[in-house]
Amino acid sequence: MQLYNTLSAEQRAELIEQTGEKRLTLSFYAYAKIQDPQKFRDDLFIAWNKLDALGRTYVANEGINAQMSVPASNFEAFRETLEKYDFMKGIRLNVAVEQDDMSFLKLTVKVRNKIVADGLNDETFDVTNKGIHLRAQEFNDLLADPNTVVVDFRNHYESEVGHFVGAITPDVDTFRESLPIIKDQLEQIKEEKNLLMYCTGGIRCEKASAYFKHHGFKNVYQLEGGIIEYTRQVKEEGLESKFIGKNFVFDHRLGERITDDIIANCHQCGSPCDTHVNCANEACHLLFIQCDNCAENMHGCCSNECLETIQLPLEEQKKLRQGIQKGNLVFKKGRSETLKFQKERNIFEEIKAVKVSPVTQIRKKANTKKILIGTVQHYFTKAGIAQIGLVKDIKLNQQILIEGPTTGEEHLTLTKMFVNGQESTHAKATDRFTIKVDFRVRKNDKVFLIVE
């Protein structure tokens, strides 16, 4: 009876690539009384492992919260593994707006005290007395009511790149921080205004709506299925999307495009940008927003200090980060003093376009003239093959540089290349581009074209 992963992320990626089967990224949650979370966890792992389901799931006495990647051909079989439990019969599965076969590369099912860290004592109020659920059109209608206050119950790095028009967006690192802040700020209007709330998939609002009703808020509403289900309904019914920008997600994509609006800015130069990255320095790994130009100049780092660190020999880097516990610190980008172009806002201020200030001088790692053309998406160990996501065109016999904190700097000339599975002489930015390499590369390594 297998209760753990036997393949590494790299091996799993190689297997997915070889099979070529399309996968669906989805999420779901359910509150219920689970008597034996550990047995429930083990049963789920065994059932899902047989279906090649991957993802991250938390189970607790209060229910289940899951983000998954499932082979499209096994979608209905996966649903059946859920509906064998009475509390998940007819459960809504929120299918992602943008699909990626590599969104998750391991199956993780963990037993937790709670399925969402809300910091609440559930014994002090009725958690089943929830707000009124609204579909997309109903949400839009209530949003247009001048007597409505709409609140984003996600964290600052989520709302920074996308949110509903006119929403209050708390400048907080965690969900638990937002609850008392919003309660105190809206205390004077709790009996007269419509309190309209939303989050990514709906789970945070399930508990938050009951919390606010317990504290005397009379008219409490929540977006059914969150931003993910809202977007599906908007597309299906031809509605106007009142959500603008990107929806932040917690898999390797770090975001899915909802509208073409870019409401955020690069944290290093101030230019319009909503691309989240993690600092290339493994001892930092800070989550922040970085444009392509700064990614090239700073080699994916958040600061000059981190830039200097990744130039050290690998063994020295390992020594420097030994014993360091990053944990959720990676999400505290709003507190980083190294990132100069972040908008500190009062949660009740209207969010306006960010003005671009004069760019401070940033240090480059080397004098080699190069252009960022893509990033490594996967490395297939046994075959020695690198799959690269291109942002610019490339052709045979050009020189490239693959660079990363553990890879170092590796130069090579393209003497043979494969595009969309076939040998070719050139590749476009939208193609699936693979090359054979005689050295190990890592996911998110930068790939540059060397120019004379």
Among all residues, which ones are annotated catalytic?
A: 199
CA pair distance 308, 290, nearest whole angstrom? 18
First to last CA, the chain: 58
CA 299, 305, 309, 311: dihedral to nearest 10 degrees? Answer: 50
DSSP-derived 3-state class of residue 402? strand
CA pair distance 257, 109, nearest whole angstrom? 28
Axis-axis angle for helices 226-237, 136-143 (nearest 10): 100
Cβ contacts of 391-397, under 8 Å, gap ≥ 24: 391/292, 391/429, 392/429, 392/449, 393/426, 393/427, 393/428, 393/429, 394/426, 394/427, 394/433, 394/449, 395/425, 395/426, 395/427, 396/424, 396/425, 396/426
Strands 399-404 and 446-450, by their bridges, are: antiparallel
List C-alpha distances in Å: 422 to 32, 417, 433.
Answer: 50, 8, 9
List C-alpha distances in Å: 324 to 2, 166, 308.
Answer: 32, 40, 18
